[in-house]
Structure 1
Amino acid sequence: MSQSTLAYHWSRSEFLRAWEAGAFDHRVELVEGAIWPVVIGSWHGDAVGQLLALLPRTAVKVTTATLPTGGSLPDPDCWVRRADAEPVGTVGTRLSVWDASDVLLVVEVADETTIQDLNVKAKLYGQAGYAVYWVITQQAIYEHVDPIPTGYRTRIEHRPGEEIPVRYAGSSLAVDELIAP
């Protein structure tokens, strides 16, 4: 006889109340009603540090803040917004909500979460209308562009020896510098 399990679907407000009350003993994020642990290993941490050092910063702000997106509260490794952008709202007491047109790039560094980042989060960020989404892995960088209601119309794989365009800055970065810090 098999036993079914009940999955609990967290609302954004329930998650925020628990998060603000300090109910979680480790870093987590809310993705489509599920609580996901945020795991940061050595390569991941080094890659995020390298990314933050290399991203162009003219007329933009680069942040590692939670990015409220639909009913989710994902915690991208970094994202870039227009420097003159103003929040369009707040969630809870500490999170700002941004207009999709002000969010220029969202980046996830994927060590153990590649499948989720390429699928679930690509859908989430594309539905939100964020123009460009990168998934950085140890083998390649996957650039998602042209957001549509089901995710992104286009995914481009950039390999070592190539450059990835930094569309908001009209420049590019070497893939090697980002995946092998």
Structure 2
Amino acid sequence: MTEASIAYRWTREEFLRAWEAGAFDHRVEFIEGEVWSVVIGDWRGFTTGRILRALPGDGFQVTTATLPTGESLPDPDCWVLRDDAEPVDTVGTKVSVWAPADVVLVVEVSDETVMQDLGIKARMYGRAGYSVYWVVTKEVIFEHTEPTPNGYRTRREYRAGEHIPVHYADTALPVSDVLSGR
């Protein structure tokens, strides 16, 4: 007779204790009660680097820090914070919590994780109230805007040859510049 296993759901506090104690031997993030491995690789790294260099920073900070979101601790590939923002709280001893109005863009560079990034993470970031969320794939950038308690009201696709708006800086980036390369 085979018994079904019961998946263990972590609390944020349990995850933080394990993370701060060095219990994980690889990079992880905490998403809605589950510990997810962070996918690494050349394409993701080079694409993230291009985005970091391309995003306007005047009056803003572009970062790769953990971004506490509700009870989750995702590690977006990068995100943008108002320069004058002050943390509203901390999680554990190392992670600041920011007001949603101060987080002006969240970016996930997505290859193997596209379904999670367009699904669970879009709902999570929208529910948190982050105004703009991008999912960058090898062929398209999905822009999510108008956050709601269930995710985002709008999702638009941008492809090579088009420009994606950078709302916080009132400018746009050529999609080809972001998607080209390794």
Tell me what 2:136 maps to: 136
Aligned mates of 1:135, 1:107 — CA distance in 2: 6
Query: 1:3 Cα deviation (Å)?
Result: 3.2
Is 1:159 the counterpart of 2:159? The answer is yes
Tell me what 1:122 maps to: 122
* Paired residues for 1:71-82 under 5 Å: 71-82=71-82
Aligned length: 181
Gaps of 5+ in 2: none
TM-score with structure 2 length normalisation?
0.98
Aligned mates of 1:40, 1:127 — CA distance in 2: 26
Post-superposition CA distance 1:2-21 (Å, at most 9, x none)? 53121111111100000000
* Paired residues for 1:38-77 under 5 Å: 38-77=38-77
Tell me what 1:111 maps to: 111
Post-superposition CA distance 1:80-116 (Å, at most 9, x none)? 0100000000000000000000000000000110000
Residue 69 of structure 1 aligns to a residue whose secondary structure is: coil
Residue 142 of structure 1 aligns to a residue whose secondary structure is: strand
| Percentage of pairs with the same residue | 61
Gaps of 5+ in 1: none
TM-score with structure 1 length normalisation?
0.98
Runs of 4+ in 1 over 4 A off after TM superposition: none
Aligned mates of 1:44, 1:20 — CA distance in 2: 26
Aligned mates of 1:17, 1:145 — CA distance in 2: 34
Counterpart of 1:150 in structure 2: which amino acid? N
Query: 1:132 Cα deviation (Å)?
Result: 0.1
Aligned mates of 2:15, 2:99 — CA distance in 1: 22
- What RMSD, in angstroms, separates the aligned Cα atoms of the two structures? 0.8
